[in-house]
Amino acid sequence: MPDITTSSYCIFSLGDNNAVEHIELMVTAGKLRAYCINAGVLKFDVVSTTTTLIPHQWHHVCMTQDGVRPRLYVDGVAITMTDTDATDLTYWTNPLSGLDKGAIGILNMNGTQTLDYKGCIAYVKYCSGITLASAWTPAQVLAEYEYRAGR
């Protein structure tokens, strides 16, 4: 991403075509961010505290939910996060009953597409499990990074 320090880009989103309802993984001013809104009400907004993505460099990014909170990872390592809004950190996709759009590299919700990603996104992987046991562990996130990075 060329202008990573001043702009916002969506990496992955799930949204509702006719409502302000979505969950997304994004980059804001170079920081990794997870954001969820349901029926126009913000549920959580977490952002990396110190970790900044480097422009024009490949990064492995990951967002998980362990039943307690969303967790963010950069290059296989859990990062320190600031809870900009912690209304309900346990919130995830199940209560988002209107989800009908998924998108890579753009926020797709309420009939609009915004926050176009400037760069390349590859190796998208997601888990559709419904139990806490299906959540990726930190060791699994690191193993995925090491595999994708060729280590």
pLDDT tens for residues 48-71? 999 889 888 899 999 998 889 999
Whether the predicted pLDDT of 35 surpasses 80: yes
Whether the predicted pLDDT of 85 surpasses 70: yes
Q: What is the pTM of this model?
A: 0.90
Q: What is the pLDDT of residue 130?
A: 61
Q: What is the pLDDT of residue 131?
A: 61
Whether the predicted pLDDT of 27 surpasses 90: yes
Per residue in 93-144, pLDDT (tens digit) is 888 989 999 999 999 999 889 898 888 888 888 776 666 666 788 999 999 9
Q: What is the pLDDT of residue 83?
A: 97
Asked whether 8 and 27 are in contact (CB, 8 A), the reply is yes
Q: What is the pLDDT of residue 151?
A: 81
- Dihedral (CA of 60, 142, 28, 50) sign: negative
Gap between the Cα atoms of 75 and 100, Å rounded: 30
Q: What is the pLDDT of residue 129?
A: 64
Q: φ and ψ at 141, to 5 degrees?
A: -65, -45
Asked whether 93 and 14 are in contact (CB, 8 A), the reply is yes
Q: What is the pLDDT of residue 134?
A: 66
Largest CA distance in the chain: 43
Q: What is the pLDDT of residue 132?
A: 63
Asked whether 89 and 70 are in contact (CB, 8 A), the reply is yes
Gap between the Cα atoms of 83 and 88, Å rounded: 10
Q: What is the pLDDT of residue 133?
A: 63
Q: What is the pLDDT of residue 67?
A: 87
